[in-house]
Amino acid sequence: MNMDNGIPTKEEFVDQLAAAFSYFNANTEKLTNAYNKLEQEVARINAELEKKNNQLQQKITEIDHVRSHFENILHSMGTAVIAIDLNEKITVINRCAEELLGIDSSACAGRPFGQLVTLDKITSTGLSALLKSDQPLFEREAALLCKNGDSIAVGVSMSLIRNSKDDTIGYLLLLRDLREIKKLQAKARRADRLVALGEMAARVAHEIRNPLGGIEGFASLLVRILESDKENQRMAAYIMEGVKSVNHIVSSLLDYARPVHIKKSFFPIREIIYDVARMIETSPNIDKKNIKIIAEFNGDNDPVMYADRVLTQQIIWNLLVNSIQAMDHPGDVVISCGKRGPLKHAVEDSTLLYHENSFVHDDSMYFYGFGEATWNTGEIHFWNVLSVTDQGTGIDPQIKDKIFYPFYTTRENGTGLGLSTVYKIIEEHGGKISVKSQAGRGACITLYFPGEVPVQEEVSR
């Protein structure tokens, strides 16, 4: 360096520039290494984030799958499930509950439970007390009151919904539809009664019929012996009539208790109706009261039925005799035949289709017209129909639920087995019964037999 003016010499300047370049290169290399390390770290972090994102997406997919699976289980349950929060507002409702309550899940979320569900025997106050007691409710029977006024028997149970800290965060209410169970129980009770009735009938036949035969024999002998004593002969005749009446009751009891074996075949119903009508007209035991039996075939001159021929004859006899006995004045009893298409919608699995205290409505609300094209044909494509209409006193609405019960009768000398036998035979055929009645106007009982397309060879047999 030049000492006089402080300016470095050329050699010194070259050395300083070389040192600066060396320093720059060293720092550049450090920066490059740092950048490479940073780039590697960013790549590692990106790879880790992608891995975490994949794991998170997998977890979300698994959670969605589990959620969807549980929702499918919830909506596939045959029991109505309703989740309620601590404020007694509905949070979750499954499809069965929607159908049972007749509401839509989107319209009930967040609404108070008491506004949508009314349970008889468990009032809203009682239910609130049960909810606040934090105690589970084991199933008890109650009546669910529907918007249309109907009442449905349900089994009600409740459990608590708890979180991971074991705190109560809501309530789970289960409503089990008991209608089918009630029907099965009723059928089981009826079957038990029939079994007991059959056993009793066998004992009755043994214990009563033998003495009756002896009484009838001695009474007929007395009638012959007392031929010259008309007064006492008439008393002996009364004994014979009483024996015949008791024997008729015993025979009816045995017939009702006997199992029904259906042997279906195709046959013209016209000749069955005429045969029964002639038997009734010539029967000395039936007071005809100047009542005329009229047959109507609704345009079908030769209607064919598919049923048990003998049992069909029996139920026509029972219905016609029942109608004649219900009339206390001259008039007409009309028996008509026809066909109906398939049922329009699912109906309860009950033999009694409906019982109305009016003649205004017909069965078009239940059946399509015969031959009418439908999408809902089901297993039964059409029904054969028999109706018996009288001009009697009608059926008292207070007893309409009892007319098909065995041994229930409003007549002094009736056995109460006529209509119950009709019901039993139709039930074994898989058919339906409907009743229309009006006080002072009469009654109409209609029978529906599942139809089959006849084969000409079978019909002609």
Using the structure block, give the residue that is written with the tokens 């007691």.
133
In terms of domains, do 366 and 306 share one?
yes
Structure confidence at residue 351 (pLDDT): 84
Burial of 205 (C-beta count, 10 Å sphere; 0-12/13-18/19+): middle
Q: Are 120 and 145 in contact (CB under 8 A)?
A: yes
Q: CA-CA distances (angstroms) from residue 324 to 25, 110, 313, 422, 457?
A: 126, 61, 17, 16, 37
In terms of domains, do 339 and 431 share one?
yes
For residue 91, the tally of other CB atoms under 10 A from its CB is 17
Once rounded to an integer, what is the mean pLDDT over residues 408-428?
A: 80
In terms of domains, do 278 and 370 share one?
yes
In terms of domains, do 350 and 435 share one?
yes
Once rounded to an integer, what is the mean pLDDT over residues 366-370?
A: 84
Q: Are 241 and 284 in contact (CB under 8 A)?
A: no
| Domain closes at, from 224, 255, 286 | 255
Q: Give the model's confidence band at 386: pLDDT under 50 very low, under 70 low, under 90 confident, else very high.
A: very high
Structure confidence at residue 334 (pLDDT): 93
- What is the number of alpha carbons within 13 Å of residue 355 lying toward its C-beta? 14
SS3 27: helix
Return mean pLDDT, the chain: 80
DSSP 375: S
Q: Which residues pair with 339 in a beta bridge?
A: 384
In terms of domains, do 267 and 361 share one?
yes
Indicate whether 145 pLDDT > 50.
Answer: yes
In terms of domains, do 242 and 189 share one?
yes
In whole angstroms, what is the distance from residue 119 CA to residue 94 CA?
A: 18
What values do phi and psi take at 136, rounded to 5? -65, 150
Q: Which has the minimum average pLDDT: 2-6, 224-228, 426-430?
A: 2-6
In whole angstroms, what is the distance from residue 315 CA to residue 442 CA?
A: 19
% residues pLDDT > 90 (the chain): 10
Q: For position 93, which CATH number holds?
A: 3.30.450.20
What values do phi and psi take at 199, rounded to 5? -65, -40
In terms of domains, do 352 and 309 share one?
yes
Task: Say how many domains are in the chain.
Answer: 4
Structure confidence at residue 426 (pLDDT): 92
In terms of domains, do 249 and 272 share one?
no
One-letter amino acid of 245: S
> How confident is the model over 75-125, as pLDDT tens digits?
778 788 888 888 878 888 888 888 887 777 777 777 887 777 777 766 555
In terms of domains, do 322 and 417 share one?
yes
Q: Give the model's confidence band at 435: pLDDT under 50 very low, under 70 low, under 90 confident, else very high.
A: very high
| Domain closes at, from 255, 288, 311 | 255
Task: Note the maximum CA span of the chain.
Answer: 188
> How confident is the model over 273-311, as pLDDT tens digits?
999 988 888 877 777 778 889 888 876 667 888 999 999
Degrees (nearest 5) of the Cα angle 398, 148, 110? 145
Domain that residue 199 falls in: 182-255
In whole angstroms, what is the distance from residue 412 CA to residue 396 CA?
A: 16
- As a whole number of Å, the end-to-end CA separation of the chain is 143
Cα 262 to chain center, whole Å? 25
In terms of domains, do 251 and 377 share one?
no
Indicate whether 156 pLDDT > 90.
Answer: no
Cα 360 to chain center, whole Å? 26
Structure confidence at residue 348 (pLDDT): 62
Indicate whether 195 pLDDT > 80.
Answer: no
Instruction: Read off the pTM.
Output: 0.58
| Domain closes at, from 194, 227, 255 | 255
In terms of domains, do 283 and 398 share one?
yes
Indicate whether 141 pLDDT > 50.
Answer: yes
Q: Give the model's confidence band at 261: pLDDT under 50 very low, under 70 low, under 90 confident, else very high.
A: confident
Once rounded to an integer, what is the mean pLDDT over residues 3-7?
A: 61
Structure confidence at residue 388 (pLDDT): 94
- What is the number of alpha carbons within 13 Å of residue 62 lying toward its C-beta? 6
* Tokens coding 219: 């009474």
> How confident is the model over 215-242, as pLDDT tens digits?
878 878 887 888 787 788 788 788 887 7
Starting at the edge strand found earlier in the chain, the sheet holding 90-93 runs 90-93, 80-85, 168-177, 151-162, 137-145, 119-120
Q: Give the model's confidence band at 457: pLDDT under 50 very low, under 70 low, under 90 confident, else very high.
A: very low
In whole angstroms, what is the distance from residue 365 CA to residue 268 CA?
A: 28
Could you tell me which of 166, 161, 157 has the C-alpha nearest to residue 91? 161
In terms of domains, do 228 and 160 share one?
no
Indicate whether 377 pLDDT > 60.
Answer: no
Q: CA-CA distances (angstroms) from residue 437 to 86, 338, 355, 419?
A: 52, 20, 8, 15
Structure confidence at residue 320 (pLDDT): 92
Contacts of residue 364, Cβ cutoff 8 Å, sequence gap at least 6: none
Q: Give the model's confidence band at 460: pLDDT under 50 very low, under 70 low, under 90 confident, else very high.
A: very low
